[in-house]
C-alpha cells in the first residue's frame, strides 16, 4: 500500500507502527522511532479544528485526526470555530498537492 | 578555542531586478573586497554560498569569477535561514582549524524556489507561506487578545526604520491605515503584513582571532551560536503562537556566550510576517508571552531602533539565502557604530534571529565588539 496512490483514489489511509504503537505522520514506509516497516489501515475521517482562517469566501483550517495527524484543508460550508468536530468529506490529489475537503459536524 | 570574528562584509541593494544569481553573488563579493583593502584572494581558505536557487556548483562558480581557489567550496541550503547556517558552517571550519579565513556569500532572486516547501504535504493545497502565517496570526490574536491594528504597528515601525537603510527594498513609509487598508490576503493577513521576496546579495568574511586583525581594526566576535530544528512540516509545531525552535536556540546561544537577553542592546529578528516579530521577541525572552506587541509599541513610540534597525525582513525585503547574512551585517555595523541614521546608541552586544518554514528551524547568534 502507498499513501499517495490510495489518496489519489480518494482513500485516506494511516501508517501505523505496530511495534511502537504509534501513528507515523507524515506517511512513511518506515517508523520514525524504530525504522521498522509500518502497516497501513483505513484512517478515521473525523477530527477537530486546531485553527482556521479564510481566503476570500473560503475557510481553510488545520485539523487534527486521531490526536496525531494534522492536515490543512478547505471547509466546504459553514462558519468554523476552534475545537469544533469535523470530518474529511473528500480527499485526493489535485495539481500535485494533497487535497482535503472538510465538513463541519 | 580561538575566537572567530567578522572581518569584513559587502551587501547589494535589495531589488526586484531580474539578475542572474551568479551576478548577484559576484556583486556582493566585489563590495566585500572593496571594503577590505588588505584582503588578498590567497587569504581565503573556504567559499560558502547560501542560496535556495536551483543553479548548481555556485561556490565554485563564485570562486572562479572572483579569482579565488579555495580549499573548501560548497553551498548551504536551509530555506530562509540558509544565511546563518552558512555563517555557522564557516565558524565551525575556523574553530576546527580547517580554515583560517572564510568568505560566506548569500544571494537570492525574487522568484526563489525556496518560498514553497513542496515536501510538506500536510499543508494540503495551502503551501504558500501566507497560510501558515494566517494560522499563526489567528492563533496569536486569539490567545493574547491582540488586534489587527496592534499587529499593524510592526510594518509601520519596520518600514520607518528601513527608510534609513539605503539597501532596503522598501523606500516608502506607511501609516497604520495604509497597513490595515492594504490588500486583504486572508482574514488574518494583509499585504503589508508580509515581507517580500526580492533579489539581493550579502557577503561576510569570517576569520580566526589573530587573522581578523589583519583586515579590520574593529572585528565583531561571534560569541554565541544556538540552533534547533524541531521538524520540517509546519503542522508539527506544538503551538502556533510561540516558536519552540527559537526558544531552544536562544537558550543555547546565551549559554555559549555566557550572556543573557537583558545584555542585548540591538537585535535583528525574523519578521517574515507581522506576527513573527512579537512572537520572536517573546520566544527569545525579550518579554513575556503575549507582551511582544507592548514592547513593539513602546519602541515605535519612542523611536527606538533596538529591534530590526535595518527594517527587518518586512522593510528590507527577504532574499532568502541572503537574509541571515544581511541581518548579521546590520548587527556588525551597529556594534561598529557605523549604522549612520539607524545607529542604536552605544550598542555593545547584538543578536541575530533567523528562522525557516514557520519556525520549524531557528538560528540565534550573539555578536559582541
Q: Tell me how close the Cα of B235 comes to any Cα of chain A, in angstroms.
A: 6
Q: Is the peptide bond before B37 cis (omega within 30 degrees of 0)?
A: no
- Strands B101-108 and B46-50 turn out to be parallel
Mean pLDDT within B259-275: 98
Q: Where are the domains of chain B?
A: 4-112+197-215
B185: confidence class by pLDDT, cuts 50, 70, 90? very high
- CB-neighbour burial class of residue A77 (10 A; exposed 0-12, middle 13-18, buried 19+): exposed
Q: Could you tell me what percent of chain A has a pLDDT over 70?
A: 100
- CB-neighbour burial class of residue A57 (10 A; exposed 0-12, middle 13-18, buried 19+): exposed
The yes-or-no verdict on residue B108 having pLDDT over 80 is yes
Q: Is residue B107 within a helix (H) or strand (E), and if so which, with residue range? A: strand B101-108
Q: Is residue B93 within a helix (H) or strand (E), and if so which, with residue range? A: helix B82-95
CB < 8 Å to B138, chain A: 51-53
Terminal-residue alpha carbon distance, chain B: 18
| pLDDT of B131 | 97
Mean pLDDT within B169-175: 95
DSSP summary character for residue B343 = P
| Contact predicate A24/A43, CB 8 Å | no
The yes-or-no verdict on residue B262 having pLDDT over 90 is yes
Instruction: Say how far residue A30 (Cα) sits from the centre of its chain.
Output: 18
The yes-or-no verdict on residue B2 having pLDDT over 90 is no
| pLDDT of B142 | 97
DSSP summary character for residue B43 = G
Query: What chain B residue is nearest to A58 in terms of C-alpha separation?
Result: B186
Contact at CB, B124 and A72, closer than 8 angstroms: yes
d(C-alpha B128, C-alpha B144), whole Å: 25
Contact at CB, B121 and A97, closer than 8 angstroms: yes
CB < 8 Å to B191, chain A: none
Q: Is the pTM of this model over 0.95?
A: yes
| pLDDT of B212 | 96
Contact at CB, B125 and A51, closer than 8 angstroms: no
The yes-or-no verdict on residue B1 having pLDDT over 80 is no
CB < 8 Å to B187, chain A: 53-55
> Tell me, which fold does domain B4-112+197-215 have in CATH?
Peroxisomal Thiolase; Chain A, domain 1 (3.40.47)
Q: What is the mean pLDDT of chain B?
A: 97
Q: Could you tell me what percent of chain B has a pLDDT over 90?
A: 98
| pLDDT of B111 | 96
Mean pLDDT within B119-134: 95
- CB-neighbour burial class of residue B55 (10 A; exposed 0-12, middle 13-18, buried 19+): middle
The yes-or-no verdict on residue B267 having pLDDT over 80 is yes
| Contact predicate A40/A14, CB 8 Å | yes
Q: Where are the domains of chain A?
A: 3-42, 46-104
| pLDDT of B19 | 97
Please provide residue B67's backbone torsions phi and psi, each rounded to the nearest 5 degrees.
75, 30
| pLDDT of A46 | 96
> Tell me, which fold does domain A46-104 have in CATH?
OB fold (Dihydrolipoamide Acetyltransferase, E2P) (2.40.50)
Contact at CB, B124 and A53, closer than 8 angstroms: no
**At B285, is the secondary structure helix, strand, or coil?**
coil
- What distances in angstroms separate CA B66 from CA A10, B26, B194, B252, one per listed residue? 54, 7, 35, 36
The yes-or-no verdict on residue A83 having pLDDT over 90 is yes
Residue to test with chain B: of A24, A53, A99, A102, most B Cβ within 10 A: A53
Residue to test with chain A: of B235, B237, B358, most A Cβ within 10 A: B235
B365: confidence class by pLDDT, cuts 50, 70, 90? very high
- Strands B101-108 and B4-11 turn out to be unpaired
Please count the residues of chain A. Answer: 105
Residue A65 gets the label, from left (phi > 0), alpha (psi -120 to 50) or beta, of beta
d(C-alpha B151, C-alpha B139), whole Å: 13
| pLDDT of B121 | 93
Instruction: Say how far residue B326 (Cα) sits from the centre of its chain.
Output: 6
Concatenated DSSP letters for chain A?
--HHHHHHTT--EEEEETTTTEEESS--SB-TTT-PBPEEEEPP-EEEEEEEEEETTEEEEEEEETTTEEEEEEE-SS---TT-EEEEEEEEEETTEEEEEEEE-
Q: Could you tell me what percent of chain B has a pLDDT over 70?
A: 100
| pLDDT of B181 | 98
The yes-or-no verdict on residue B359 having pLDDT over 80 is yes
Mean pLDDT within B82-102: 98
Which of B114-123, B129-138, B277-286 comes out lowest in average pLDDT? Answer: B114-123
At A11-62, the pLDDT tens digits run 999 999 999 999 999 999 999 999 999 999 999 999 999 999 999 999 999 9
The yes-or-no verdict on residue A1 having pLDDT over 80 is no
The yes-or-no verdict on residue B349 having pLDDT over 80 is yes
How many CA atoms lie less than 13 Å away from B340 in the CB half-sphere? 9
ipTM exceeding cut-off 0.90 for this assembly = yes
B307: confidence class by pLDDT, cuts 50, 70, 90? very high
Amino acid at each position: 500500500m502507498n499513501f499517495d496512490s490510495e489518496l489519489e483514489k480518494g482513500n485516506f489511509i494511516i501508517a501505523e507502527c505496530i511495534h511502537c504503537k504509534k501513528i507515523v505522520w507524515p506517511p512513511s514506509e518506515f517508523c520514525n522511532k524504530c525504522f521498522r516497516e509500518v502497516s497501513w489501515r483505513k484512517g478515521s475521517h473525523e477530527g477537530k479544528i486546531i485553527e482556521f482562517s479564510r481566503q476570500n469566501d473560503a475557510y481553510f483550517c488545520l485539523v487534527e485526526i486521531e490526536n496525531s495527524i494534522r492536515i490543512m484543508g478547505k471547509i466546504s460550508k459553514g462558519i468554523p470555530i476552534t475545537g469544533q468536530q469535523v470530518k474529511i468529506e473528500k480527499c485526493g490529489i489535485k495539481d500535485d498537492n494533497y487535497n482535503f475537503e472538510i465538513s463541519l459536524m | 578555542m580561538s575566537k572567530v570574528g567578522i572581518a569584513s562584509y559587502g551587501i547589494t541593494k535589495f531589488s526586484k531586478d531580474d539578475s542572474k544569481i551568479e551576478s548577484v553573488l559576484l556583486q556582493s563579493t566585489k563590495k566585500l573586497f572593496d571594503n577590505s583593502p588588505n584582503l588578498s584572494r590567497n587569504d581565503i581558505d573556504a567559499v560558502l554560498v547560501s542560496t535556495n536557487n536551483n543553479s548548481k556548483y555556485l561556490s565554485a562558480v563564485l570562486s572562479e569569477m572572483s579569482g579565488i581557489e579555495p580549499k573548501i567550496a560548497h553551498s548551504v541550503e536551509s530555506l530562509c535561514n540558509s544565511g546563518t547556517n552558512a555563517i555557522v558552517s564557516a565558524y565551525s571550519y575556523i574553530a576546527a582549524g580547517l580554515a583560517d579565513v572564510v568568505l560566506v556569500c548569500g544571494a537570492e532572486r525574487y522568484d526563489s524556489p525556496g518560498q514553497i516547501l513542496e515536501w510538506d504535504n500536510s499543508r494540503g493545497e495551502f503551501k504558500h507561506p501566507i497560510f501558515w502565517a494566517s494560522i499563526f496570526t489567528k492563533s496569536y490574536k486569539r490567545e493574547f487578545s491582540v488586534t489587527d491594528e496592534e499587529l499593524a504597528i510592526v510594518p509601520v515601525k519596520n518600514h520607518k526604520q528601513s527608510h534609513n537603510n539605503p539597501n532596503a527594498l522598501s523606500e516608502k513609509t506607511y501609516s497604520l491605515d495604509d497597513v490595515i487598508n492594504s490588500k486583504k490576503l486572508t482574514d488574518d493577513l494583509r499585504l503589508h503584513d508580509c515581507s517580500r521576496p526580492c533579489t539581493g546579495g550579502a557577503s561576510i568574511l569570517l576569520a580566526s582571532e589573530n587573522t581578523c586583525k589583519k583586515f579590520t581594526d574593529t572585528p565583531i566576535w561571534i560569541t554565541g551560536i544556538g540552533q534547533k530544528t524541531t521538524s520540517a512540516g509546519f503542522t508539527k509545531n506544538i503551538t502556533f503562537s510561540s516558536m519552540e525552535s527559537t526558544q531552544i536556540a536562544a537558550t543555547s546561544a546565551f549559554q555559549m556566550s555566557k550572556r543573557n537577553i537583558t545584555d542585548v542592546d540591538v537585535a535583528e529578528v525574523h519578521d517574515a510576517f507581522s506576527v513573527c516579530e512579537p512572537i520572536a521577541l517573546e520566544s527569545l525572552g525579550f518579554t513575556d508571552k503575549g507582551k511582544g506587541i507592548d514592547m513593539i509599541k513602546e519602541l515605535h513610540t519612542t523611536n527606538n531602533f533596538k529591534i530590526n534597525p535595518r527594517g527587518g525582513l518586512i522593510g528590507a525585503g527577504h532574499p532568502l539565502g541572503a537574509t541571515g547574512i544581511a541581518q548579521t551585517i546590520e548587527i556588525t555595523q551597529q556594534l561598529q557604530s557605523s549604522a549612520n541614521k539607524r545607529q542604536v546608541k552605544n550598542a555593545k552586544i547584538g543578536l541575530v534571529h533567523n528562522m525557516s518554514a514557520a519556525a520549524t528551524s531557528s538560528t540565534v547568534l550573539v555578536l559582541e565588539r
